[in-house]
Copies of this chain bind each other. A is one copy, B any other.
Amino acid sequence: MVKTSLSADSRNRETMQHLLFDFISTYVSLSEEEKHAILSLDIFRSIKKGTILLEEGQRSQEGYFVLKGCIRTYYVIDGEEKTTAFYTEMEGLTPHCVIHKAPSDYYISCVEDSILTVANPGMEEEIFQKFPKFETLCRMLSEELLAKQQINFDEFKTSSPEQRYLNILQKRPDLIRRVPQYQLASYLGIKPQSLSRLRARIIAKNK
């Protein structure tokens, strides 16, 4: 499917807006005026699979939030891709380079055809001024993500690659289907060969 009819596009956009507002409403309640302010920023973007959103060395100002699809961050170390994170529905990131105004150490690319919101600090500041509620929202989100991230890191440190794989199998089973194995391997901190072996080992155990 290369083209979509206009009406399907607009239905799609409405769906995405709903997804976003539903998500936000679990943190703060928005008035119609506030919803309108968000929409007027025109932050919805359709991105094709394989698109590179951020390259190493680049000084981007964009933060991303995934409404549909999947994006990943990865480093290229000694010519090898090292995937460090996947972001799927209702997850977002503000790249390190945006916060620290330094060239990026990593890449961000689109694992699937995706729909994202794209924002920059300028837009944020503007809307924070008009509606302080959005700053509360961003603070709550950051704090929650920070705590969640810490737990993730803790789990990673305190478990073996095999346990990590079983953990993902439980908590984000979709990832295993959506994502190439070699990307998943570095996400688990191991080589693709080790992931293959590890899976074979698990299957052998369950027989």
Tell me the A residues contacting B by CB distance below 8 Å.
73, 75, 77, 82, 84-85, 93-96, 98-100, 105-106, 128, 132, 135-136, 138-139, 142-154, 156-158, 186-187, 189
Task: Looking at the assembled complex, report how far the CB atom of A35 sits from the nearest CB atom of chain B, in whole angstroms.
Answer: 21
Note all chain B residues with C-beta closer than 8 A to A105: 151, 154
Given contacts A138-B139, A146-B146, A147-B94, contact A153 B152 (CB under 8 A): yes
5 A-B residue pairs with CB within 8 Å: A84-B158, A105-B151, A135-B139, A149-B149, A156-B157
Note all chain B residues with C-beta closer than 8 A to A94: 143, 146-147
Complex Cα–Cα for A154 and B93 (A)? 14
Note all chain B residues with C-beta closer than 8 A to A85: 150, 154
Note all chain B residues with C-beta closer than 8 A to A144: 99-100
The DSSP consensus for interface residues of chain A is helix
What's the number of copies of this chain in the assembled complex?
2
Task: Looking at the assembled complex, report how far the CB atom of A154 sits from the nearest CB atom of chain B, in whole angstroms.
Answer: 4
Complex Cα–Cα for A187 and B132 (A)? 39
Note all chain B residues with C-beta closer than 8 A to A156: 153, 156-157, 189
Asked if A100 contacts B147 (CB within 8 A), the reply is: yes
Note all chain B residues with C-beta closer than 8 A to A84: 150, 153-154, 157-158
Q: Which residue of chain B has its CB nearest to the CB of A95?
A: B147
Determine which residue in A94, A139, A145, A187 has the highest number of CB atoms from chain B within 10 A of its CB, and name it: A139
